[in-house]
Amino acid sequence: MTPRTNPSDRWDPERPSPVWDAPLDAIEGAAEVGVLVFAGYGLNCEAETAAGFEMLGARPRIRHFSDVIDDPTALEDVRIVVFGGGFSFGDHIASGRVFANRVRARLGDRLASFVDGGGLVLGICNGFQTIAKLGLVPGLQRRAGDPLAPQQATIEHNDRLGYRNGWVRLRIEPESPCVFTQGATGSLLEVPSRHGEGKVLLDPAFEAEVLEGHLVPVRYADAEGNATEVWPDNPNGSPGGIAGLCDPTGRIFGLMPHPEAYLYPENHPDWIAQRDAGCLPTRGSGLGILAGGVRAALR
């Protein structure tokens, strides 16, 4: 793999910084990996999420949540469950709240045994808000066979009230056990961020354990690559720049930004400049997060 120079938003070929560079090609054996992508209730990113897994050769299937509830075999033959982006129940009350309550009540036990069996869970944006409220991340102090853990973190309104769509730089933390971010070189990944509630707050009782366990796989970074709390590099004021959380196994991962919205090189705001400079990737770098999941599902 040839390392690429950094296409940051202040495009500057003279000052390269290390791009998080995961292999983006189709993965051998990926056809074994069934991926369940939830739809319904106002979720709206299922198409691009499934398209990404398809590009990698996996077998994604978009299913309405109510059909999954009605189908006792729905989680069989599935290695990755994705809670994707959107506005489940309009984010009314609080983002992900109504959906998380419903998932806990109707699918909680099946999800618990799914993750106990080594299943992977990815939550993106509204999906992250949902799995945090569902107790899947950080999911501390839960033993196999237990019900889902209680909620230990929450996602609050952005400090600057309101939705914001803009690209952010994520610093990928190499010490994290997160399997979705492994297998790449470099540390900076650019992806779109699109949310109104993205400020991650940890229950103080669990904060130390989360940080010591490196359960923060991704942080918002400034142009120098340092974690930041400063807007707009950090769009929501999340302390320490926390952009996502994983569980101690690293197989459950949620993040606010949207790797599934960077499947094509042309998604990047500077893609024409990247092409002129000869460093346009063959596929969108966001695909690397999905690829990490597929590779882990095969292990």
Residue 282 in contact with other proteins, rule: CB under 8 A: no
Q: What is the total count of residues that contact other proteins (CB under 8 A)? A: 72
Tell me the one-letter amino acid at 88: S
Residue 276 in contact with other proteins, rule: CB under 8 A: yes
In eight-state DSSP terms, residue 279 is -
Residue 47 in contact with other proteins, rule: CB under 8 A: yes
CB 137 within 8 A of CB 123: yes
The phi, psi pair for 153, rounded to 5°, reads -145, 160
Among 59, 63, 110, 164, binds other proteins (CB under 8 A): 164
Residue 37 region by backbone torsions, left for phi larger than 0, else alpha for psi between -120 and 50, else beta: beta
Piece of the chain touching other proteins by CB under 8 A; list 17-25, 146-154, 212-220, 290-298: 146-154
CB 193 within 8 A of CB 158: no
Nearer to other proteins (CB atom), residue 92 or residue 117: 92
Classify 142 as helix, strand or coil.
coil
Query: d(Cα 22, Cα 4) in Å, to the nearest integer?
Result: 11
Among 113, 165, 226, 249, binds other proteins (CB under 8 A): 165
Query: d(Cα 238, Cα 260) in Å, to the nearest integer?
Result: 22
CB 53 within 8 A of CB 84: no
Catalytic annotation present for 92: no
Nearer to other proteins (CB atom), residue 182 or residue 291: 291
Among 167, 180, 220, 253, binds other proteins (CB under 8 A): 167
At closest approach, how far in Å is the CB of 117 from other proteins?
26
First to last CA, the chain: 22
Q: Please, where are the H alpha helices in 80-184?
A: 97-116, 126-133
Closest CA to 206 of 253, 139, 144: 139
Catalytic annotation present for 258: yes
**What H or E segment, with its residue span, contains residue 164?**
strand 164-172
Nearer to other proteins (CB atom), residue 165 or residue 185: 165
Residue 133 in contact with other proteins, rule: CB under 8 A: yes
Residue 158 in contact with other proteins, rule: CB under 8 A: yes
Classify 128 as helix, strand or coil.
helix
Residue 53 in contact with other proteins, rule: CB under 8 A: no
Among 25, 31, 77, 90, binds other proteins (CB under 8 A): 90
Catalytic annotation present for 125: yes
Nearer to other proteins (CB atom), residue 116 or residue 205: 205
Binding mask 202-241 for other proteins (x = CB under 8 A): xx--------------------------------------
Catalytic residue among 125, 178, 246, 279: 125
Query: d(Cα 124, Cα 103) in Å, to the nearest integer?
Result: 16
| C-alpha atoms less than 13 angstroms from C-alpha of 291 in its C-beta half-sphere | 21
Binding mask 174-203 for other proteins (x = CB under 8 A): ------------------x-x----x-xxx
Residue 263 in contact with other proteins, rule: CB under 8 A: yes
At closest approach, how far in Å is the CB of 169 from other proteins?
13
Which residues participate in catalysis according to the annotation?
125, 258, 260
